[in-house]
Amino acid sequence: MRKAPDPLADYIADQLRDWGPVAVRRLFGGWGIYRGPVMFGLIARDAIYFRVDGENKPDYEAAATQPFVHTARKRAGMAASDAKPFTYTMPNGKTIEMAYYEVPASVLEDVEALGQWAAKAEAAAIRAKSNKPKAKTKKPAARPAPKRGRK
């Protein structure tokens, strides 16, 4: 059975309709916010988070918003003021940091400002994708030379 859309997902799609076509899709326990193939935001625990990097992160820090923090950290008794970006460790030992910060309520209510913040978040997501190293393509295995039969 397909789960009904989240009211917050419907709200953000409606608020961003003048900025551009936005799709909101299920993503694990929440929702991903996409413009075309680019995921620039997420909805989790009744909050909307946008992608950040060095260029737009100061906007979120100035607004005193909190980064996306994994639920396990909240259960561990971590204070909100101690919040850090969500990180997790891959099986290969590499630590991944999710760079998403909560969108301020004042921005969510202002359609024009929300479009500007969404554009910056989309740009941050595109920059992050372009900074990832390209996956190495494996060369096809060399075929052994055909054996020449005996005459």
With respect to residue 47, please indicate whether it lies within any of the assigned structural domains.
Answer: yes
Find the CATH number of the domain harbouring 125. Answer: 3.30.1460.30
More confident residue, 96 or 20: 20
Under 8 Å between Cβ of 28 and 39: no
More confident residue, 15 or 81: 15
With respect to residue 86, please indicate whether it lies within any of the assigned structural domains.
Answer: no
With respect to residue 14, please indicate whether it lies within any of the assigned structural domains.
Answer: yes
Closest CA to 110 of 35, 27, 26, 16: 16
Q: Which of 37-41, 99-103, 109-113 has the lowest mean pLDDT?
A: 99-103
pLDDT of residue 78: 41
pLDDT tens digits, residue range 49-59? Answer: 899 988 888 88
Residue-range definition of the domain harbouring residue 45: 7-68+100-131
How many domains, in total, are found in the chain? 1
What sign does the CA torsion over 51, 55, 59, 64 have? Answer: positive
With respect to residue 151, please indicate whether it lies within any of the assigned structural domains.
Answer: no
With respect to residue 15, please indicate whether it lies within any of the assigned structural domains.
Answer: yes
pLDDT tens digits, residue range 72-92? Answer: 444 444 444 443 455 556 778
